[in-house]
Amino acid sequence: MAVQAPSQKVAVEQYEEAIIQCQGVNKWYGEFHVLKDISLEVAPQEVVVVIGPSGSGKSTFIRCINRLEEHQEGTIIVDGIELSHDVRNIAEIRRETGMVFQQFNLFPHLTALENVALAPMKVRHRSRQEAEARAMELLTRVGIPEQAKKYPGQLSGGQQQRVAIARALAMEPRIMLFDEPTSALDPEMIKEVLDVMKQLARSGMTMVVVTHEMGFAREVADRVIFMDHGRIVEQGPPEHFFSKDVEHHPRTQEFLDQILLSF
Amino acid sequence: MVDSSEPKRRSPAIAINYDNAPPRNPPLLEIGVLAWVRKNLFGSPLDALLTIVGVVLVAAVVVGTIEWTIERADWYSIILNVDRFMTGRLPGAVVWRVSIVVIFIMVTAGVLTAAYVRRLSPVIPLLLLLIALTVVIVPALVRALLPVPPAYLAAGAAPIISGTAEETPLPAVAFLARQNETLVIDFPAFAADDAGLAAMHGIVDRATNTLRNAAANRLSDMARYVEVVTLLARDEARLTATGGEYGDLTENGRATLQRELERLAAVVPPDSADAVAALRARLAAPALTPSEIDSLRAELAALVVPPTVVDTYRLNGQPVTLRLLDGNGTPAADEQVLVPGTTEPVRFLIPADGWYILEKTLPAGAEGAAILMARGIAPVFERSAGYLRLSDMFQFPGAAPVRDDDSLRPLVLNENRYRGDRSLEAYLYLYVTNFLVEIQIAVVAAIAAAAAGYAMAQQADRLFSPRDVPRRASQRLALWLLIATPVVVFVFINGFDLLAYSAALAWVVAIYAAYQAGLLLYQRGASTLVRLLAGVLLLAGAGLVFSLLPALIYDLPPTPPAFAGLLALPVAVAGLAGAWIGTGAGAAELTRRVTRAGGLAALLLIAPIIAGRVLPGSTRDSIAAILPYIDPDTWGGLLLALFITIYGTLLAFPLGILLALGRRSSLPAIKYPCILVIEMVRGTPFIVVLFAGQLLIPLVNENFAAIPNAYRALGATVIFVAAYLAENIRGGLQSIPGGQQEAGKALGLPEWQVTLYITLPQALRAVIPALVGQFISLFKDTSLLEIVGLTDLSRTVTNMVAQTEFNDARREGLVFITIIYFVLSYVIAYISRRIEESGSGAARRI
């Protein structure tokens, strides 16, 4: 059913090797078929924005990429490592993949600095000084060095999400997954988080972003993917998606009409 | 009304109030105490009713309790057994070890406060200061301001009779006195009549008590006599009036009263000025029937006034000869005579500390008795270390003087106790003061230790903490003290063998060194082979230290593994050096780690080595004798309760965490055994688990029967507490949102690290209130240890009551342990509340 946008082929050919390769991924929650034959390749340094209505499976899909959800059919290869039941593979992929959640999921018993420094110390065996110095650097990069000694409960939503981004970056991942990073934020805080994400995209990070922020998609994305009912319905560059002249899949059109109305 | 063109939208009238009136006070009933009372106590008729009922109930309980506390309770039972309540049957020679432990714990508490309490409420130090001042100043004040409560002693040769009791005053009494005290002896004023005699109160010897009882019985018998006669007369009048149909009383009631009348008539011939007065008063009353008047007249005519107790014994009507002898029976002062009617009391100056004998005799051939009021004589209590004078806890090691004919006895507590309702002064002087004196040193030392710990931590922060982490030094200190506390407590309370200590120490050092080296190797990405090699070598090194210690310390020949160790030494050095070169660690880092490990080793090893090598003539035995092993079955009282509570919780903690994690495991082989243990223990009362510890453990292996009772009880406690902790911790783990685990996993942390660093710390913080509740309830549950034969606080009460002196003091004992349980539980609960409020314990939720 999917209308294959012509640009997709271009995108794959443009880069020599995909960093994320999904082939025929299927997933069921019990009887419920959540992901249906998802095939997708993401090239290094590409920014892919996944959009779609609630329940379309977009969050489930990116959570499959770092194995927070298990898929039942198909293959997912991240950075040349195939996701399987092998714990070592999973660990390796997770080390290469940072993830930012809708609900931030900061560790409330640790300060912002400790949140960022924890994983490098425990997983990469950095010394405390080394890890904290790097954490401080990252906090500066996301613009909140002065909040380093505060606990998550003392920070605003936007600040928390920026700490969460810094925490994911601390592992020096090659891929960043964003799962609706701005959905739980007050409108005036969305911008500060999006700014950090734009900056990250410009620095050449491979990103897969699930979001409803069409402005972000239009400005930053190399490719936009529209998912509905567990399928990739349509994909293409943002110019394709956000131009009114192109003929879209009816489902896409419906979704875009609704979304763009609210702009 | 500026604009009238729009009648529908009228702007408001302009009004400006230039009257700058001063603020008025609110109505009287709306502010302050009155308002509070009105709103909170009498807000509605129901509230008012509840308030009144509540106040009446509280008053009924409180007034009775206070009366009992001041007037009648025998608090010497507590004062003289404080040590038992604190440490049980712990030998007196090792009590100092408990003191050191208490001091250590209080220092730790002070450091913890300085390190973790964000803003110390000024109430706490003030309260502690107040307590310290109270225990020091109140005794001094009371002794300076209030008179010494007198002792009342009887003299005379004739037996004193009250009912069936018969007591002959002893001609002499032995007592403890100190140099330069003055013994003042006088006739007490109250002994002039029976009423005064009956109402007397004070420290009283047995003969005087018999006199007091005789007077009191006579008065109450007489009063009752009049009452019975009146009741019977009224009954008879009624019977006559109804022609024998019915009277005031039932037949049984009448017969009972008749019998009582006969008894009273035998004891007290109908008499007394009071009775006469009462009958006269009734005769004078109007509206008596002629028959009533007749019967009352007849009763009056039958009255014979019997002699009062005072007259019977010619109390204080004869001169008393007083002689003061020292403990050997040689006169210590000139003989003096106390003459009735003179106002001047007899005084003796005590020449030196020790035992004295006061001889008190009436003139030869004189009948009757005398009551002497003696200031300076107080009952004594026999202790293992000698005798204790109870008015001021003066202790004297010498044995009390005796005479062959038993005419001399020391004024001991169980025979010469306080009789009658006490006055507040006597309560303060004899009990409050002595109790405070008994606990003075301990309380002041404990508070001073806490203050010292607090000051020390603050000083450490001032000197060593970096500016941006102002409490790092004190928090590190607190952490180390906390880790050291259980070790110190165990070493001091249990005793320790230096050799075993050295061995344990060697392992501590080895494990620490292995940890440091492991970190080094792991971080520098050494190959597995190098790591393995280093590990083996480190263990060999530990074996070396372990086996060489006796030789190092006591000049004993090294144990055989030492030779293996010796061989291992160069290999170990070479291996470590190789590992170092192989991993390319910076020399600075290696030095830092080696210094750290070495520093710890030196700190821990230096004491035994100095003790063993430097102290002249020290051998293994002489060093072990510093802290010899104490039989745990002698532990008791608060010591036992706290030991079981603290170690029970401490040891149950890791077990509880393991059970909780085990129960959440997806592996059936781990999950179901955990569920079985948890549910079995939780489905069983603590008593049954305790008995299982006593009875079932020896079934596992006969040798386990040799484990001291206290340790078996501890084992049972640990399992019991762990099961409950496990459920608490599991609840805590379940309350952690799933996102936490996902975030941890997404960062690449392996599952066990996610648990260790992310979910478990949060779960533990979330369950602190439940943990404290568990701790407090275990502390209270230690009262069950009595049942498995341990001397806990309640068994201490039982043991105390078994002493003849304190047969009647069960209530006092129970009140005292109630206070101990309550105060400690409350303090723990308060601290826990503060931890929660301060936020350092509570999970900081997003």
B843 contacts on A by Cβ (under 8 Å): 108-109
- Cβ A107–B843 below 8 Å, yes or no? no
Is some CB atom of chain A closer than 8 A to the CB atom of B586? no
Per DSSP, the residues of B422-439 read PPHHHHIIIIIHHHHHHH
Closest CA to B502 of B510, B512, B492, B513: B510
Residue A3 CB contacts under 8 Å (≥ 6 apart), including other chains: A233, A234, A248, A249
Find the residue in A nearest to B737 (Cα): A105
B749 contacts on A by Cβ (under 8 Å): 118-119, 122-123
* 3-state SS, residue B389: strand
* 3-state SS, residue A181: coil
- The CA distances from residue A258 to A53, A214, A263, in Å, are 10, 12, 9
B739 contacts on A by Cβ (under 8 Å): 101, 103, 105
Given a cut of 90, is residue B515 above it in pLDDT? no
B844: confidence class by pLDDT, cuts 50, 70, 90: very low
| Crossing angle (nearest 10°) for helices A157-170 and A112-122 | 20
DSSP bridge partners of B636: B791
ipTM of the prediction: 0.88
What does the angle CA B720 – CA B723 – CA B726 come to, to the nearest 5 degrees? Answer: 145
- Write out pLDDT tens, residues B213-227: 989 888 888 778 777
Closest CA to B90 of B635, B496, B628: B635
State how far Cα A154 lies from the chain centre.
26
Number of residues written out for chain B:
846
Tokens of B110: 């002070």
Is some CB atom of chain A closer than 8 A to the CB atom of B742? yes
- Write out pLDDT tens, residues B272-331: 566 666 766 766 666 667 777 777 767 666 655 567 888 888 888 889 999 999 888 889
Mean per-residue pLDDT, B133-153: 91
Number of residues written out for chain A:
263
Find the residue in A nearest to B843 (Cα): A109
Q: Which residue type, as a one-letter code, is found at position B517?
A: A
Q: Which long-range contacts (CB under 8 A, 24 or more apart) does B833-840 make?
A: B834/B117, B835/B116, B835/B768, B836/B768, B836/B769, B838/B116, B838/B117, B838/B118, B840/B116, B840/B118
Give the C-alpha separation, B278 to B230, whole Å.
10
Mean per-residue pLDDT, B426-436: 91
- Cβ A171–B747 below 8 Å, yes or no? yes
* 3-state SS, residue A2: coil
Is some CB atom of chain A closer than 8 A to the CB atom of B747? yes
Burial class (CB in 10 A: 0-12, 13-18, 19+), B164: exposed
B523 contacts on A by Cβ (under 8 Å): 125-127
| Crossing angle (nearest 10°) for helices B793-801 and B637-664 | 150
Find the residue in B nearest to A167 (Cα): B747
Given a cut of 60, is residue B568 above it in pLDDT? no
Q: Provide the shortest C-alpha distance from residue B462 to chain A (in Å).
A: 21
- Cβ B743–A107 below 8 Å, yes or no? yes
Per DSSP, the residues of A224-254 read EEEEETTEEEEEE-HHHHT-SSSPPPHHHHH
- Cα dihedral: B26, B32, B35, B38 (round 10): -160
Given a cut of 80, is residue B142 above it in pLDDT? yes
Give the C-alpha separation, B759 to B740, whole Å.
7
Give the DSSP H or E segment for B358. Answer: strand B354-361
B40: confidence class by pLDDT, cuts 50, 70, 90: confident
Give B559's DSSP letter.
P
pLDDT in the model for residue B353: 92
Given a cut of 60, is residue B561 above it in pLDDT? no
- Cβ B750–A91 below 8 Å, yes or no? yes
Is some CB atom of chain A closer than 8 A to the CB atom of B672? no
A109 contacts on B by Cβ (under 8 Å): 761-762, 765, 843-844
Q: Provide the shortest C-alpha distance from residue A198 to chain B (in Å).
A: 22
Give the DSSP H or E segment for A11. Answer: helix A7-14
pLDDT in the model for residue B152: 93
- Cβ B845–A153 below 8 Å, yes or no? yes
Given a cut of 90, is residue B717 above it in pLDDT? yes
- Cβ A108–B845 below 8 Å, yes or no? yes
Tell me phi and psi for residue A77, to 5 degrees: -120, 120
Q: Which residue type, as a one-letter code, is found at position B679?
A: E
Closest CA to A224 of A49, A17, A14: A49
pLDDT in the model for residue A4: 42
Closest CA to B353 of B401, B394, B300: B394
What does the angle CA A52 – CA A53 – CA A58 come to, to the nearest 5 degrees? Answer: 55
Tokens of B344: 């001047």
Is some CB atom of chain A closer than 8 A to the CB atom of B746? yes
Find the residue in A nearest to B469 (Cα): A149
Instruction: Report the predicted TM-score, pTM, of the whole model to 2 decimal places.
Output: 0.76
- Write out pLDDT tens, residues B678-706: 999 999 999 999 998 888 877 877 777 78
Percent of chain B with pLDDT over 70: 77
How many C-beta atoms lie closer than 10 Å to residue B397's C-beta?
8
pLDDT in the model for residue B530: 65
Nearest to A101 among B739, B748, B757 (CB): B739
Is residue A188 within 8 Å of A196, Cβ to Cβ?
A: no
Give the C-alpha separation, B396 to B160, whole Å.
33
- Cβ B746–A95 below 8 Å, yes or no? no
Mean per-residue pLDDT, B78-90: 90
Find the residue in B nearest to A171 (Cα): B747
Q: How far apart are the first and last CA of chain A?
A: 28
State how far Cα B261 lies from the chain centre.
50
> For B626-676, what is the HEC assignment?
CCCCCCHHHEEHHHHHHHHHHHHHHHHHHHHHHHHHHHHCCCHHHHHHHHH
- Write out pLDDT tens, residues B485-499: 888 888 888 887 666
- Cα dihedral: B573, B576, B579, B583 (round 10): -120
Tokens of B276: 């006469």
How many C-beta atoms lie closer than 10 Å to residue B228's C-beta?
18
Give the C-alpha separation, B440 to B450, whole Å.
16
Tokens of B782: 């230690």
pLDDT in the model for residue B52: 92
DSSP bridge partners of B375: B184
Given a cut of 50, is residue B538 above it in pLDDT? yes
Per DSSP, the residues of B450-468 read HHHHHHHHHHHHHHH--TT
pLDDT in the model for residue B585: 54
- Write out pLDDT tens, residues B194-203: 889 998 989 9
Give the C-alpha separation, B419 to B210, whole Å.
11
DSSP bridge partners of B388: B381, B395
State how far Cα A201 lies from the chain centre.
11
Is residue B148 within 8 Å of B429, Cβ to Cβ?
A: yes
Is residue B76 within 8 Å of B381, Cβ to Cβ?
A: yes
Q: Provide the shortest C-alpha distance from residue A86 to chain B (in Å).
A: 13
Given a cut of 90, is residue B810 above it in pLDDT? yes
B523: confidence class by pLDDT, cuts 50, 70, 90: low
Give the C-alpha separation, B175 to B183, whole Å.
11
Find the residue in A nearest to B519 (Cα): A125
pLDDT in the model for residue B579: 56
A-B interface: how many C-beta pairs under 8 angstroms?
Answer: 78
For chain A, which residues score pLDDT lower than 50?
A: 1-15, 263
A168 contacts on B by Cβ (under 8 Å): 746-747
Tokens of B312: 């019977």
Q: Provide the shortest C-alpha distance from residue A160 to chain B (in Å).
A: 9
Q: Poorest-confidence range of B115-124, B509-518, B661-670, B735-744?
A: B509-518
**Look-up of token digits 């440490």:** B87
